[in-house]
Structure formats: C-alpha cells, structure tokens
Amino acid sequence: MLEIKAKTECHWDAVSLGEVMLRFDPGDERIHSTRTFRVWEGGGEYNVVRNLSKCFRQRTAIVTALADNQVGRLVEDLILQGSVDVTNILWRATDGICRDVRNGIYFMERGFGVRPPTGCSDRGNTAVSQLSEGDIDWKASFGRGVRWFHTGGIFAGLSETTPAVAREAMRAARSSGAVVSYDLNYRDSLWSGRGGRAAADEVNRELTQFADVVFGVEGFRATTSGYTEIEFRRAVEKVFERHSNLRAAVTILRDIKSASRHDVGGAVYANGEIHTAKLLSDLDVLDRVGSGDAFAAGFIFGVLDGRGTQEAIDLAAASAAFSLASAGDGSSATLTEVERLSGSGDSLPIR
C-alpha cells in the first residue's frame, strides 16, 4: 500500500504538526458549576503522536509553538509525560498578561446519557496560530529521518497563515521520503466568521494534494448503521479522481446512541480494495475526546509495523474503543490490550 522507510534509517517513527492546548476537565461535573478541574494536554494532531508513543511504543515528536511562560512549561511537562519529543517546539516570548501571544486552553465536560459532551475553547491569538512559512527549518527536521508525518484540518484552521505552514511541511515531508497523512478534521469554532465549512473544505482540498493518506472522506456519512461498501467506494473514488496522489483513505465509523454508549468501526480504501474493521458495539463511554485521533494512531501503527491493511484497520477501531474508556485526550491502553480487542473482542485484563 505504502513505501515505508526502514526504522533503522530514521530518528522518529512519526512527527505531527499541530497545536497543543491545556485541557481543563471537570470530571463528572459541569463546566459552569464545578469548583475543581483536572488538567491534561491535548490537540487533534498532537493526540495522534501521543497515542503512537504511549500505547504503540513508537518514537514520536510534535512540531508546535508555545508561549514561554508557566502555562507553556506545564504543557511541555505534560507532553514529556506522554513520551513525545519536544525538541521541535518553538518558544515565543510573551509579556505578563499575554497581550500578543499566548497558549491555548479549553474546557471540556464529558457528557453522560442524554447530556452531550460540551466544550469551551479559549485559543485565540495563540503562539502556534501565528506561525508563518519559514519559521520552521523543515529540512533540518526531516533530515534526521522521519517515517510518517501527520497534520490536519484543525491546525490548518487556526489562522490565515497556518495552511501555508502545513503545505510547506507536507511538501518537505514528501521530499524526504516520509509518508504524509492529513486529517479532514473540522471545528465550527475555528471557522466561524471565516467562511464556515465551505472555506474549510477549500483549504482541506488544497492540502490533500500533498498527502498520501487521508483520514475522513468528503461527502461520506461515516456511521456504522448506514455503512455500505458501495457508498463508501463511490465517495472515495470521487476523492481519488480529484487527488491522484492519494494511496489510502481511512475513516472511523461511529453510531452515537447516547453520550455514554457508542458503536465503533472503520473502513479503509487502498489499492482498489476496501477493508472494514470488526464492529465494536455498545461501547461504554468515559470520555470521547480524542477517540478519532486514537483511531488514526492505531491505523498508522499497523502500517508502520507491517501488519497489513486489514489488521491496521482492526487496530484502529480497537484503539478508538479503548480511548473511549480513557480519561483525557490520550488513551491509557497498552498495545497488548489493543491487540487483544482487535483480534478477539476480549478486553478482559490479562492475569
């Protein structure tokens, strides 16, 4: 499906470009009524390498920018706890009240039953959103050897300049021989007042031309109950007609029965063939945030580890399932747990 550089030739297995924010989690309570929060680090593109590192034991790094103050250093410490390399973080000077540059934070309540997950972001004017072309020495970064590079629509949606940074990075990654993946993630809050979904789709289409693998399929309703191979193939082939550079399209399939109960599956199109993951039904949900990123991490690991397309998509679905059972943006699963669930559906602890 893809030509992967040898592990021995590379310093990192995977590198992501994206924002890393400080997440405030009220646990079982609500944002507007709690008196205590637990903090985590999180961000769409970052979550992928965090899961690749902690769960799948891959060597990973994050490319981002942080304001150099106590909050930024806390985020760095959390990233280090996630076993992600921080040498590619750009540190930006800021004053005492962060007039010009700051770190992003967001508040997220998990939801329960009929009460959906609810978030409140505070991420305007962040250090990473102010990145421009030329700020990062991509030749030096990829010169150390990278097997897989990942970014996506959340980073590209941060500002008017971040799409150009993503394009610059993706071009450099491809030139270095790394596999490039792009996630079509969309956030209403990032595009409000800036053209909405139509503007985001235009940016995503422009950047997809520099990717080998895309997560998400434009125009496809990714549910487990409504999934048909015919509809999936039709949607993917339409995307491939527009982007002949693509080698694979991957999507999580999900039915949300309530905030506390999901069905999860997945599908991948590669080499003209479609593979679907084993359906994982009636999953109890502790925290859904980051489950799509865990799905991407499971698939990337499967490909990097030479597992084959079917096993890669099964690992992706199992990784997403365990993320749903983990607090915070990142999964607490082990590789053994994910492998057991992807292979047999047995998630009982090993004794």
Report percent pLDDT > 90 for the chain.
96
H or E element: which one contains 39? strand 38-42
pLDDT tens track for 273-294: 999 999 999 999 999 999 999 9
Closest CA to 78 of 45, 50, 56: 50
pLDDT at 122: 93
pLDDT at 346: 55
H or E element: which one contains 110? none
The strands making up 21-25's β-sheet, listed across from edge to edge, are 38-42, 21-25, 105-109, 118-122
pLDDT at 253: 98
pLDDT at 348: 54
Confidence of residue 193 (pLDDT cuts 50, 70, 90): confident
Domain map (residue ranges) of the chain = 8-344
Across the range 251-258, mean pLDDT stands at 97
pLDDT at 1: 78
Whether 218 shows a pLDDT value over 90: the answer reads yes
pLDDT at 345: 46
The angle that helices 291-304 and 44-54 make with each other, rounded to 10 degrees, is: 50
Give me the chain's average pLDDT, please: 95
Q: Where are the alpha helices (DSSP H) in the chain?
A: 44-54, 70-81, 138-143, 153-156, 162-176, 188-191, 196-208, 229-242, 291-304, 309-324, 335-344
Whether 351 shows a pLDDT value over 90: the answer reads no
The pair of three-digit structure tokens given for residue 314, joined into one six-digit string: 């099964």
Confidence of residue 344 (pLDDT cuts 50, 70, 90): very low
Report percent pLDDT > 70 for the chain.
98
Is the CATH number 3.30.43.10 carried by domain 8-344? no
Across the range 21-27, mean pLDDT stands at 97
pLDDT at 121: 93
